[in-house]
Structure 1
Amino acid sequence: MKVLHTADWHIGQLFHTYDRTFEHRQFLQWLVGIIVSESVDVLLISGDIFDLSNPSASSVQLFYTFLNQATKANPDLQIIVTAGNHDSPSRLEAPKPLLESSKIHIIGLVERDADGALDYEKLIIPLKNKNEEVEAWCLAVPFLRTGEYPSLADCSDPYAEGVAAMYGAVYAAALAHQQDGQAIIATGHLTAAGSERTSADEDERPIMGGVECIAADAFPAGLNYVALGHIHKAQKVGGKEHIRYCGSPIPMSFTEANYKHQVLSFELNKGKLTDLKSIEIPIAVSLKRIPDMHQPLTNVLAELLALPDEQPTGPTPYLEVRVLLDAPEPGLRHKIETALQGKPYRLAKIDARHPVQTEDAAAELISGRKLTDIKPEEIFQTMYQAKYNAMPPEILVSLFNQVSTEISQREAV
């Protein structure tokens, strides 16, 4: 049995205001081709199908068009879709009645039985080979929210220990079904301890203040493979070959520009995992950063002006301009856009940085002093000098004092 693992599609994402429908359509068309060429039997989609919990009609249409094309191209294909933190579990599950007769399984919610206990059986899906024999069992575990995992008494980390207990309980339920020669695999959408993350991953919605890390040993040792989503860089977890993030199929931020975007495939044969490999995804629209390192504005503008005017053969790349500022630059965007006129790039982001950080200056300012003894003007001048390595112009000081006075007068009324 050939299995393909993908996740974190984020259909409907706007990349710094630019629509990405073309990129997602190119990826999904490519994926249909891979399903056929690799003779895939099972497709695992481990969460974050959509970028928003309330996706647009066009995003939903794109997803279901893919499901239709994939199952037409391979009528025996089994698809397991689990919800991520960006997905609405109930909205994702809405078409389940229409899909009950197909081989598409969508798991968004963790249901409870008549007694109010977590219904683990609803998360266990048999995977059948071409002879309609059960080759493996899949623990289709979605992104777990509060109340969707066991509540443990006297534990130091309710979330991490609860999630570990959840996987242990679903695995135990699957063992009751397992027969000789059958594998057990699992899905998950979570943050694994020690995983390498980017700024885009750090911006993901936390559950409990960013402490929701799950250790690799939270997954039962008997699992043949764990198909994870949520982290956008493909990687193994805890040094274990069979616990994997496949990563996002297209770059979600400029920090992912140099990633090898991929899907993962593997074979299940008589209860064993074999032939685990990555398949690189072609990037439909490239990302470029100019310059390679942050430089003063004059250097940056010169480099932008030197760019060739020829239009690329493919789609116009996204561009991040990286500039180092030593003073406020109100006309920054206009100057950059002017330098880029006629150039074959889409300006997506201006990353402006300053040579001196303000944290140390702030600490030095308040060290040993009461906040009531520090005047607002003093704070303003200290932060400005720390950020721009120069004293603020008199006009800015005057305007600041004017605003500060108006606020004080209003508070006194």
Structure 2
Amino acid sequence: MRLIHTADWHLGQSFHGQERHTEHRAFLAWLLDTLVERNADALLVAGDIFDVVNPSLAAQALLYDFIVDAHQRLPGLQIVLIAGNHDSGNRIELPAPLMRRLNTHALGRVYWQDDGDLDAERLLVPLTDAKGATRAWCLALPFLRPAEVTGAGVRADEDDDAPNDYVAGINRVHTRLIEAARARREPGQALVAMSHAHLHGAAVSEASERPIVIGGEESISAALFPDDIAYVALGHLHRAQQVGEARIRYSGSPLPLDFSEVAYPHQVVEVVLDGEALATTESLPVPRPVAMHRVGPAPLEQVLAELEALEDDPELSRDRWPWLEVRVALEAPIPDLRARVEAALEGKALRLLRLERRLPRVEGEDAPARIDLESLGPRKLFERTWADRWGEPPEADVLADFDRLCQDVLDAEGELNS
């Protein structure tokens, strides 16, 4: 069997206030051509299909148009989608009955039976070859929110040794789903796991990845995927990478989602199965439909010289003009900095999205520290506020209560917007 593994499309992303439909449309066109050229049997999309839980109509149209076009050009192609932490699980599953008619399976959340055991059968998708014979089983596990794997109605295991209830719940779901898949498969059929999660030891991006859950203690071990899992298709981390073994992979995002990701190799992964085993994997580079430039950090005169030297193509349509980030290292504030940067770009087919001013650090103990609330985050802000008020940092149980409260707020917002 031949599979294509991709993830983290983030359709509908607002990039510093600019929409990226042109880039996503170009990627999906390339992906469809690649599926046809490679004669793929299945496409696995490992979460974060959309950028927000309430995507625009244009973003949703990109997905559904792609599914329809794929079914027309490759009627035998199977598509398996799972929700990521940016997605609304309910929204992903809403059109599932219609999508099944197009050979597409959409899994947005997990469900528990009356006895507290996982409803694993609905997460097992048979992958068939051109003759309709089942050659593999896809263990399609969407992003697991804390409310789905902890608390009342969820049966726990006495031997759980994970550091917290949430991680223990994640481990439990993976283990039970693998057990169910082993019971279903027949000799010669491979097991392919798909999960949207953060694995220990995997490299995160500099700026663009949202913590998968409040508190940060959400990473799981690659040991959850035993050797009889032929391939593990992961989503969430934007940097393409394997985790420990060639069979355990993040495909990475097909497009850079932040200027910090410009140098990443953006790709999808072709996976070939031979019976129950993994035969080969191949990284397929994704063409970049819109270039992305980073200038600096450097002194202003050097930055201006680099901007003057930037090449551009005036024949490009405006929606294909490269994105540009400029970082200037300053010794003192320059009131007309933006005007001078824009003057250097006058007449160039470039789109300035971000201008960052880097001022020198102020020495001396009496100088107040500059706090960036966005990078600090709610948890660190809470810890600082608590320590200022009570003279000591909050204890572990206080932080755990705060984490649960923040997660409840995020989950409630997601449901309201979905």
Give your verdict on TM over 0.5: yes
1:207 has 2:213 as partner: yes
Q: CA RMSD in A?
A: 2.1
- Is the Cα contact below 8 Å between 2:68 and 2:102 reproduced in 1? no
Partner of 2:199: 192
1:182: Cα distance to partner?
0.7
- More moved, 70-79 vs 344-353: 344-353
| Higher mean C-alpha displacement, 56-65 vs 160-169 | 160-169
Change (3 A) 1:101 1:69: closer
Question: How many Å separate the matches in 2 of 1:193 and 1:19?
Answer: 33
CA distance in 1, matches of 2:42, 2:309: 49
Matches within 5 A, 1:14-413: 14-149=14-149, 151=156, 155=161, 156-201=163-208, 203-237=209-243, 239-291=244-296, 294-307=297-310, 311=314, 313=316, 315-356=320-361, 365=365, 378-380=366-368
Decide which moves more: 86-95 or 128-137. Answer: 128-137
What SS class does the counterpart of residue 171 from structure 1 fall into?
helix
For residue 43 of structure 2, give the secondary structure of its aligned residue in structure 1. Answer: strand
CA distance 1:325–1:167, shift in 2 (3 Å): same
Q: Which SS does the other structure have where 1:126 is aligned?
A: strand
For the residue of structure 2 that corresponds to 1:176, the secondary structure is helix
Task: Measure how far apart 1:327 and its partner are.
Answer: 2.0
Aligned to 2:2: 2
SS of corresponding position for 1:350: strand
For residues 49-93 of structure 1, the C-alpha deviation after alignment (integer angstroms, 9 at most, x for no partner) is: 100100001111111000000111100011100000011000111
1:97 and 1:346, CA in 2 relative to 1: closer, same or farther beyond 3 A? same
TM-score (norm 2): 0.82
Residue 190 of structure 1, CA deviation: 1.1
Structure-2 separation of matches of 1:70 and 1:211 = 38
Unaligned runs of 5+ in 1: 366-377, 385-413
1:289 CA drift (Å): 1.5
CA drift at 1:310: 5.6
- SS at 1:67 equivalent: helix
Quote the Cα distance in structure 2 between the aligned partners of 1:222 and 1:72: 34
- 123-132 or 80-89: bigger deviation: 123-132
**How far did residue 302 of structure 1 move?**
3.4
| Other-structure match for 2:395 | none
Q: CA deviation at 1:307?
A: 4.2
Instruction: Report the CA distance between 1:354 and its aligned residue.
Output: 3.1
Distance across 2 between alignment mates of 1:383 and 1:257: 28
Give a deviation string over 1:364-387, Cα, whole Å, max 9, x none.
73xxxxxxxxxxxx545x879xxx
Residue matched to 1:375 = none
Q: What is the alpha-carbon distance in structure 1 between the residues aligned to residue 117 and residue 58 of structure 2? A: 37
8 A contact 2:242–2:250 mirrored in 1: yes
Deviation of 1:103 after TM superposition, in Å, equals: 1.7
Question: Does the Cα contact within 8 Å between 2:240 and 2:252 map onto a contact in 1?
Answer: yes
Q: Which amino acid aligns with 1:322?
A: R
Q: Distance in 2 between matches of 1:88 and 1:308?
A: 41
The alpha-carbon deviation at position 350 of structure 1 amounts to 1.6
Q: What is the alpha-carbon distance in structure 1 between the residues aligned to residue 222 and residue 17 of structure 2?
A: 37
Q: Quote the offset at 1:309 in angstroms.
A: 6.9
- Measured after TM superposition, the shift of residue 322 of structure 1 is 1.7
Distance 1:295 1:34 in 2: 40
How far is the alpha carbon of 1:325 from its aligned partner? 1.3
Change (3 A) 1:136 1:301: same
Instruction: Report how many residues are paired.
Output: 362
Percent pairwise identity? 42
Distance 1:199 1:339 in 2: 28
Structure number with larger C-alpha Rg: 1
2:67–2:102 CA contact under 8 A, matched in 1: no
**1:312 deviation in Å?**
5.6
Query: Hey, what's the Cα distance between the residues in 1 that align with 2:310 and 2:281?
Result: 42
Deviation of 1:198 after TM superposition, in Å, equals 1.4
Change (3 A) 1:157 1:342: same
Q: Contact 1:309–1:342 at 8 Å: present in 2 too? A: no
